[in-house]
Amino acid sequence: MTGFPILSVMLAIPALAAVACLFVSAQGARWIALIATLIDFVLGIGLWASFDIGGPQWQFVENAGSLGVFSWKLGLDGFALLLVMLSVFLMPICIGASWVAIEKRVQEYMAAFLITEVLMIGTFAAQDLFLFYIFFEAGLIPMYLIIGIWGGANRIYASYKFFLYTLLGSLLMLVAMLWMVNFAGTSDIPTLLNTDFPVQVQTWLWLAFFASFAVKMPMWPFHTWLPDAHVQAPTAGSVILAGVLLKLGGYGFLRFSLPMFPEASAQLTWLILALSAVAVIYTSLVALVQSDMKKLIAYSSVAHMAIVTIGLFAFNRQGIEGAMIVMLSHGLVSAALFLCVGVIYDRLHTREISRYGGLAINMPRYALLFLFFTMASIGLPGTSGFVGEFLSLAGTYRVSTTATLLCTTGIILGAAYMLYLYRRVVFGEIVHDDVRAMKDISLREMALLAPIAAVALWMGVYPESFLAPMRSDVATLEARIARATPKGDSLPTPGKAPATPAAHAEARP
Amino acid sequence: MNASLLMTLPELVLAAGAIALMLVSAWGGQGSTRLVSWASVAVLIGAGLALLGPASKGGAAFEGLYRADAFAAYAKVLIYVASAVAILIAPRFFAQGRGDDLRPEYPVLILLSAAGMGMMVSAGDLLTLYVGLELQSLAAYVLASFMRRDTRSAEAGLKYFVLGALASGILLYGISLVYGFSGTTLFSSIATAYGAGHSLGLTFGLVFVFAGLAFKMSAVPFHMWTPDVYEGAPTPVTTFFASAPKVAAVALAVRVAIEAMGPATDQWRQIVIFASLASIIFGAVAAIGQTNVKRLLAYSSINNVGFLLVGLAAGTQEGVASVLFYLTVYVVMTLGSFVVVLQMKDAEGEPVETLASLAGLSRARPGLALAMAIFMFSLAGIPPLLGFNAKLAVFTAAVNAGLYPLAVVGFVASVIGAYYYLRVIKVMYFDEPAEAYSGRATPVESAVIAVSAVFVSPVGWLLLAPLGVATMFAAKALF
């Protein structure tokens, strides 16, 4: 590494742009926000290009010294790199999606989004426990304002629910963090990752972290804030919520719960598997009966996130890699689906499914893109959704066949609600005159959706690009949790040993 | 003797300055208000400069009656800053109608109160403590009823006086018990008596002393005067009450708890934990229903005292340092938010205090709304603002002292607190605009708001390390 503090620069650019936005005209704020997010995207590409696969675990490390109890210490491993990439990729798209949809208080809106970007990158890059918490928790402020100011009719209720729910969970985690720092004598995350906490305390610490991440994730039954927040948030707010903020929970399990408390994770795997299985089936069924498009996609997010949690707690390579790919894929696909909803919402100002129908007739290009993302959400082979779900479920199978069986029904149910949604919105005859008058997607909207479609396809066809950066990190994590790995109930047929990690690695180019 | 006088130099400066300025105002009359105000600020600055000498490191003066240590000096800096701000923001508030112009007694009373608070935080003896407390309180009673023609202000003064007298009585009773069973009023000798073994009389004395101090800090269950007094008193006076005397009372409680009753930590810890959790929970729950901003901030101050006591409950050097750090951040947030409240005036220039009148402030006065939002998020303890670091510090001390249940319950209760702070932000940012406030902030007011907002924003992180060193050094003086 050259010693250039690229991560700090990536944090500073949107932060400065946010301040600048407050002092210019509405159009100026739009351009500042777009340029700042594009610069961050370019820097992100630079990160990915110069990330040394197979090199040291932590790269781009910078340490600007202590600020009282915590220090400004940043760095990325493969997991964090991919999630930072997801954030910087989606941000310019969010700004573009808000280009005309947001008319009032544009300057504040753009500033809130830029601050959100700072906090997201900071959360993934923080290498100090308290710095992580600060970024993690501060994200509530801009999201609260985005939902509350620019949201729909019931925005006040949704913003309170979002804020207080997530705050409560996070504070319990903070108590656990205080204990850990007291025990280990440092708040440095790489050190804590290799600290063995006493087994009997681990359960409590694990539960405290669970309280926070389960709400963020969100896992059933802590998910009720999500549909409200999604429905009320503006389109770009939903995109960023589904695309990146939901990943914070999964990232938290991956970064903290598993490597720091392996024994507790093993003990409580049953809890995760049970909640995830319920979540997949329950929320999929709920999604089937929704009449609001955004609510339907919100519930489908809960189901997808459950696939992430089972994958993580499979304690093996496929599961963890699958969970990461599902996170990335869901970040792209659900973001795109919210954008698709936003496209027609901007024209008709309703999210009621029954108000649409027959869009394939007058909006063919839109229908095509929407179809692609619907298929990606279902997990059709060739799209990113398939790779993630398959790996994740394959990994889980080695731990619990029952949970895998239950969660796999989610794929079937997912196909049911997504195709049902698609049929009602896009197929059939046009019954409403105002729908007939709707124009097909503009160049701007195409420019937002096409890149996501390209990346989702890339991830589906050649996932190696995305698996490679995290391969050694998965190995590190696997080695760390190996001592606690629960015994699986899947019994390999005699004569056919389960795939060994070595054989698995050979299978890839 | 000379050495002792040098150590008490800040109080001497304040007392002499107050008396001289009283004479100026007696002869100068109403016209001298401006002069006396600025002169008072100069006196406060002088007292602050006097801290650079032996007053901050001299040790015991007057055979232990008075302590000139870093702990006292740290608290005094906060007290002087808050007092100076209370003087500087006053003129415009009193100038607007009702015929109750600012009179030159106002800055003089604040100076006397500051001298009393200086004695409180430097007390090394129960009687010094009492004299300082009474000097501070008597000046405060008059300040609370400073708007003579306003019934709410008169009521506030009377209530404050009656309940304050009751509190002083309880405190004196406790002091007499402690004196009776230990035979001394010196903190160091009292500590020896507590260390010598269990005595029912001493325990009773401890309980009464803490009850009296809880009154002064407005900790639950001795908080009931706070909302009425804060609401009724003129806003600059409320600003003063919520900042400087709070610092003095908390610092005094810390000194009594550690220096005089350190060996009885296990006994007072129970009281402190109860008062702490009760204050956090009650302050948060009671604030939810408030529609008056000043009352809301009064309950918020009760809530914050609860968090301060979390640090005291730890009873360690780290705990004391965290209390000082919390006080610093709290004073800045309080000064800032009350100066924002000062800006709330209707078209006729009359002060308005309803929460509803803040509606849509973000569009009428974006800068003001942003500052208030920063203060509210900071008071709620949301990172990246400094209010979070303050809460983190006290809870770190509590967890390191093994007080896990206190930390968990305290943290969970702070979610309740977050709800009403969010309500203020919701009114300012989400609601449709109400009638805009008239008038503009004076340069001094703008400066106070801007400096406080920047201090609690992430820019303030740069101060975390030096403040950490300073508070640890100050706390060391007690151990």
pLDDT of amino acid A282 = 93
What is the interface pTM, i.e. ipTM, of the complex? 0.90
DSSP string for residues in B219-245: -TTS-THHHHHHHHS-HHHHHHHHHHH
Contact A329, A372 (CB under 8 A): no
Q: How confident is the model at residue A498 (pLDDT cuts 50, 70, 90)?
A: low
Count CB neighbours of B82 within 10 A.
27
Q: How many CB atoms lie within 10 A of CB A247?
A: 27
Which pLDDT score, from 0 to 100, does residue A305 have? Answer: 92
Nearest to B248 by CA among B51, B113, B374, B347: B113
Residue A447 has which token pair?
């420019």
List CB contacts (< 8 A) between B377 and chain A: 141
State residue A1's pLDDT score: 44
Contacts for B425 with CB less than 8 Å, ≥ 6 apart:
A144, B372, B373, B376, B377
Does A68 contact chain B (CB < 8 Å)? yes
pLDDT at B378: 94
Query: How many CB pairs below 8 A link A and B?
Result: 92
Q: Could you tell me the two tokens for A305?
A: 């996130």
* Mean pLDDT across A370-395: 92
Best mutation target among A105, A163, A179 (most B Cβ atoms within 10 Å) is A163
Nearest chain A residue to B417, by CA: A164
Q: What is the mean pLDDT of residues A10-38?
A: 93
Q: How close B395 comes to chain A (CA, Å)?
A: 8
Q: Which of A22, A154, A171 to mutate to test the interface with B (most CBs of B within 10 A)?
A: A171
Q: Which residue has the tokens 């949809």?
A: A101
Cα separations (Å) of A333 from A230, A350, A408, A483, B441?
Answer: 15, 22, 19, 36, 50
A114 three-class SS: helix
In this prediction, residues A212-241 reach a mean pLDDT of: 87
Contact criterion met (CB < 8 Å) for B389 and A68 = yes
Summary mean pLDDT of chain A: 89
Whether A155 shows a pLDDT value over 80: the answer reads yes
- Is the pLDDT confidence value at A40 over 90? yes
Write phi, then psi, for A89 (nearest 5 degrees). Answer: -75, -40
Lowest mean pLDDT among A27-36, A82-91, B50-59, B130-139: B50-59
Q: Does A171 touch chain B (CB under 8 A)?
A: yes
Whether residues B383 and A133 touch (CB distance < 8 A) is answered with yes
Tokens, residue A469:
């950066």
Is A162 part of the contact surface with chain B (CB cutoff 8 Å)? no
Which pLDDT tens digit goes with each residue over B15-47? Answer: 999 999 999 999 988 888 889 999 999 999 999
What's residue B118's pLDDT?
94
Rg of chain A in Å (alpha carbons): 22
Are the Cβ atoms of B396 and A69 closer than 8 angstroms? Answer: yes
Q: Which of B407, B462, B467 sits opposite A175 (nearest CB)?
A: B407
Q: How far is A310 from chain B (nearest CA, A)?
A: 29
- Nearest-CA neighbor of A2 among A68, A54, A46? A46
Give per-residue pLDDT as tens, B164-215.
999 999 999 999 999 999 999 999 999 999 988 878 999 999 999 999 999 9
> Residue A499's pLDDT is what?
58
Distance of residue A68 Cα from the nearest chain B Cα, in angstroms: 4
Average pLDDT over residues B266-288: 93
Distance to chain A for B405, nearest Cα, Å? 10
What would the 3-class secondary structure string for chain B be? CHHHHHHCHHHHHHHHHHHHHHHHHHHHHHHHHHHHHHHHHHHHHHHHHHCCCHHHCCEEECCCCEEECHHHHHHHHHHHHHHHHHHHCHHHHHHCCCCCCCCCHHHHHHHHHHHHHHHHHHECEHHHHHHHHHHHHHHHHHHHCCCCCCHHHHHHHHHHHHHHHHHHHHHHHHHHHHHHHHCCCEHHHHHHHHHHCCCHHHHHHHHHHHHHHHHHHCCCCCCCHHHHHHHHCCHHHHHHHHHHHHHHHHHHHHHHHHHHCHHHHHHHHHHHHHHHHHHHHHHHHHHHCCCEHHHHHHHHHHHHHHHHHHHHHHCCHHHHHHHHHHHHHHHHHHHHHHHHHHCCECCCCCECCEHHHHCCHHHHCHHHHHHHHHHHHHHHCCCCCHHHHHHHHHHHHHHHCCCHHHHHHHHHHHHHHHHHHHHHHHHHHCCCCCCCCCCCCCHHHHHHHHHHHHHHCHHHHHHHHHHHHHHHHHHHCCC
pLDDT at A17 over 80: yes
Residue B434, CB-side half-sphere exposure with 13 Å CA sphere:
18
pLDDT band at B100 (very low <50, low <70, confident <90, very high): low
Over the stretch B143-172, which tens digit does the pLDDT of each residue have?
998 888 888 889 999 999 999 999 999 999
User: How far does B408 lie from chain A, in Å, by closest CA?
Assistant: 7
Amino acid at A421: L
Residues B447-471 have pLDDT tens digits of 999 999 999 998 888 899 999 999 9
Task: Output Rg (C-alpha) for chain B, integer angstroms.
Answer: 21
Distance from CA of A156 to the nearest CA of B (A): 8
Contacts of A179 in chain B (CB under 8 A): 399, 404
Q: What is the pLDDT of residue A501?
A: 55
Report the pLDDT averaged over residues A109-136: 93
Residue A162 to chain B, least CA–CA distance (Å): 12
Which residues does residue A110 pair with via DSSP β-bridges, in sequence order? none
pTM for this prediction? 0.92
Contacts of A121 in chain B (CB under 8 A): none
Interface touch A134/B377, C-beta < 8 Å:
no
Q: Which residue has the higher pLDDT, B128 or A103?
A: B128
Of B392, B412, B429, the CB nearest to A145: B429
What band does A495 get if pLDDT is binned at 50, 70 and 90?
Answer: low
- Min Cα distance B203 → chain A (Å) is 33
Instruction: Please compute the mean of the pLDDT values over residues A138-143 and round it to a whole number.
Output: 89
CB-based contacts of A260, cutoff 8 Å, min separation 6:
A180, A192, A193, A195, A197, A205
Contacts of B389 in chain A (CB under 8 A): 68-69
Which residue pairs, CB below 8 angstroms and at least 24 apart, start in A497-504? Answer: A498/A398, A501/A317, A501/A475, A504/A317, A504/A318
pLDDT tens digits along A266-317? 989 999 999 999 999 999 999 999 999 999 999 999 999 999 999 999 888 9
- Interface touch A175/B411, C-beta < 8 Å: yes
Reported confidence tier of residue B254, pLDDT bands at 50, 70, 90 = very high
Contact A222, A182 (CB under 8 A): no
| 3-class secondary structure per residue, B288-350 | HCCCEHHHHHHHHHHHHHHHHHHHHHHCCHHHHHHHHHHHHHHHHHHHHHHHHHHCCECCCCC
Give residue B238's identity as a one-letter amino acid code. Answer: T
- From chain B, the residues in CB contact with A69 under 8 A are 389, 392-393, 396, 464, 468
The pLDDT assigned to A79 comes to: 92
- At B98 the pLDDT is 58
- pLDDT value, residue B432: 85
pLDDT band at B14 (very low <50, low <70, confident <90, very high): very high
* Chain A residue nearest residue B360, CA to CA: A149
Q: Are B28 and B103 in contact (CB under 8 A)?
A: no
Length of chain A: 509
When mean pLDDT is compared across A106-110, A455-459, A502-506, B257-261, the lowest value belongs to A502-506
Structure confidence at residue A497 (pLDDT): 60
Given a contact cutoff of 8 angstroms between Cβ atoms, the answer to whether A254 and A313 are in contact is no
pLDDT of A506 higher than 50: no
Task: State mean pLDDT over A325-330.
Answer: 94
B contacts of A116 (beta carbons < 8 Å): none
What pLDDT sits at residue A493? Answer: 66
The C-alpha atoms of residue B223 and residue A346 are separated, in whole angstroms, by 53
For A332, A442, A505, B28, B447, the CA distances from B35, given in Å and listed in that order, are 67, 68, 83, 10, 21
Q: Domain segments of chain B: what residues?
A: 2-476
pLDDT at site B181 = 92
Hey, is the C-beta of A160 within 8 angstroms of any chain B C-beta?
yes
Confidence of residue B383 (pLDDT cuts 50, 70, 90): confident
